[in-house]
């Protein structure tokens, strides 16, 4: 099966070299591939063009939809691998959408690559395919809190979160919009015994001013509870744009 990717412009797959903007690998040069489709619908999602196609009525605060033909492209696994290889580098970040929805095809694509450090960014609801799991060095798991507007039984499957918590390759990143969101994070941390050194809080925001304002109250909360703070470096460098 081929891979279904997001696009930077119609027909052009979103495969690019940049710096990792979030989480434990922030600032590291990496090659990115953004896959299309998602099983969740966050109302503040900054990559809604990967899932909110015309006819999709799941809520989003921008209230717009995207043409599937212009925002989605299907490529053979070997073609995707060749494009990644051409960019050079030794780190691959697979993002989305929800990449684990395409786990078997993703594993076959990675098998075509030279040896690379592979990171997978996931919302945490989908188990990795066994063939893919054997190839992944790091998972960046971002469970969605109540303010995302997703139903908790869909966004926070506790059996799956427990499996991630037990996997030392998995780092948790919670998007926080207001101080009260912290109570939900702490409850999940306690329930699943997530170590503080593998738990990041990240401000929700798509511009530098919003991120800075929220980091002012988020930073002391991280210090108080022994958690880690992550910025969104790519927003400061490039703005809220595709292919960065």
Question: How does pLDDT run along the chain (244 residues), one tens digit per residue?
Answer: 799 999 999 999 999 999 999 999 999 999 999 999 999 999 999 999 999 999 998 989 998 899 999 999 999 999 999 999 999 999 999 999 999 999 999 999 999 999 999 999 999 999 999 999 999 999 999 999 999 999 999 999 999 999 999 999 999 999 999 999 999 999 999 999 999 999 999 999 999 999 999 999 999 999 999 999 999 999 999 999 999 9
Long-range pairs for 148-152: beta carbons < 8 A, 24 or more residues apart: 148/40, 148/42, 148/43, 148/44, 148/175, 149/41, 149/42, 149/43, 149/59, 150/40, 150/41, 150/42
Quick one: pLDDT at residue 99? Answer: 98
241-to-116, 200, 215, 235 alpha-carbon distances in Å: 26, 23, 21, 8
User: Is residue 220 domain-resident?
Assistant: no
Residue 196 carries which DSSP code? G
Flag whether 134 is in a domain.
Answer: yes
CA–CA separation, 182 and 221 (whole Å): 8
Q: Distance between CA 103 and CA 128 in Å, rounded?
A: 6
For residue 77, tell me if it sits in a domain: yes
Task: Judge whether 169 and 138 are in contact, CB under 8 Å.
Answer: yes
**What per-residue confidence (pLDDT) applies to 213?**
98
* CB-CB contact of 98 with 38 (8 Å): yes
C-beta separation of 80 from 33 below 8 A: yes
99 falls within a domain: yes
Helices within the chain (DSSP H only)? 68-71, 77-86, 103-110, 130-133, 152-155, 158-165, 181-192, 208-225, 233-238
CATH of residue 136's domain is: 3.20.20
Alpha carbon distance 236, 18 (integer Å): 13
Q: Is residue 93 assigned to a domain?
A: yes
Q: Residues near 129 by Cβ (< 8 Å), separated by ≥ 6?
A: 100, 103, 104, 106, 107
- Determine the structural domain holding residue 38 and report its residue range: 3-171
- Domain-located, residue 75: yes
Report the domain count for the chain.
Answer: 1
pLDDT at 1: 75
What whole-number distance in Å separates Cα of residue 93 and Cα of residue 81? 13
Report the side by side order of strands in the sheet with 3-9.
12-13, 3-9, 72-75
Looking at the DSSP bridge assignments, the partners of residue 15 are: 33
Q: Give me the pLDDT at residue 68, please.
A: 97
Specify if 199 maps to a domain: no
């Amino acid at each position: 099966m081929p891979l279904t990717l997001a696009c930077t412009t119609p027909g052009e797959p979103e495969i690019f070299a940049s710096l990792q903007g979030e989480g434990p690998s922030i600032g590291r040069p990496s090659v990115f591939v953004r896959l299309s489709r998602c099983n969740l619908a966050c109302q503040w999602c900054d990559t809604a063009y990967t899932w909110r196609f015309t006819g999709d009525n799941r809520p989003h605060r921008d209230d717009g939809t995207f043409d599937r033909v212009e925002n989605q492209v299907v490529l053979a696994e070997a073609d995707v691998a060749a494009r990644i290889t051409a960019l050079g580098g030794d780190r691959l970040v697979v993002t989305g959408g929800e990449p684990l929805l395409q786990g078997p095809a993703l594993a076959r694509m990675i098998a075509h690559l030279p040896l690379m450090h592979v990171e997978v960014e996931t919302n945490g609801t989908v188990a990795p395919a066994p063939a893919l799991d054997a190839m992944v060095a790091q998972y960046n798991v971002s469970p969605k809190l109540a303010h995302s507007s997703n139903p908790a039984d869909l966004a926070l499957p506790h059996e799956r979160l427990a499996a991630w918590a037990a996997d030392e390759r998995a780092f948790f990143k919670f998007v926080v919009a207001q101080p009260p969101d912290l109570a939900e994070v702490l409850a999940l941390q306690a329930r699943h015994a997530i170590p503080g050194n593998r738990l990041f809080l990240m401000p929700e925001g798509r511009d530098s001013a919003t991120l800075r304002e929220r980091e002012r109250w988020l930073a002391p909360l991280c210090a108080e509870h022994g958690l880690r703070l992550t910025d969104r470096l790519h927003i400061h460098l490039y703005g809220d744009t595709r292919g960065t």
